[in-house]
Amino acid sequence: MLTGLLLYAAVQAAPVATVAGLPDDTVRAVVHLAGSPASALNAPAPAFADSLVLDKSERRLALFSHGLLVKEYIVALGRNPVGDKLSRGDGRTPEGVFTIEGRNPQSKYHLALRISYPDAAHRTVAQRRGVSAGGDIMIHGLPDAFATVGALHRQQDWTEGCVALTNQEIEEIYRAVPDGARILIKP
């Protein structure tokens, strides 16, 4: 429990470099704070979540409220999910600490929350490589034409670097997560 509260405090207040440097075992402990992953996956819709942790290797998006895990979701990622996002069109989901900087209720992917990518570090790396860092990284649902696919969409990573959920799941998250919430995206 203490580890979860420490991560919560770090995600809320610490500089990005400090949070991104947390040991994997600390982040892993927080992701499993509520007991078995199945209990968090079956939890009721959260009323409020002030921070998120996306574990790309496990395809799990965890929502926290004041350092306590309130719900987890299984997600689909960019079509080339291994590694940090390096440039526009690489199909990777970025890694690091970001914020939810806006929302799109008219998204062609049902609803969408915008992640504050690219940050200064990603822009610098892209500039050094002579490429565009990309942008428009979202947490979103499914397009209307594929809404009936539901959870089956998770059988394959298919986005351009975004985080995809079912429409029901993005509705829960959209209501629960305010603009400004921090999101840690780890490999």
- CATH assignment of the domain containing 139: 2.40.440.10
Question: What is the per-residue pLDDT for 180?
Answer: 96
Question: What is the per-residue pLDDT for 47?
Answer: 82
pTM for the full predicted model = 0.77
* pLDDT exceeds 50 at position 66: yes
Q: Which domain covers residue 103, as residue numbers?
A: 2-186
Number of domains in the chain: 1
Over the chain, what HEC string results? CHHHHHHHHHHHHCCHHHHHCCCHHHHHHHHCCCCCHHHHHCCCCCCCCCEEEEECCCCEEEEEECCEEEEEEECECECCCCCCCCCCCCCCCCCEEEEEEEEECCCCCCCEEEECCCCHHHHHHHHHHCCCCCCCCEEECCCHHHHHHHHHHHHCCCECCCEECCHHHHHHHHHHCCCCCEEEEEC
Question: What is the per-residue pLDDT for 45?
Answer: 75
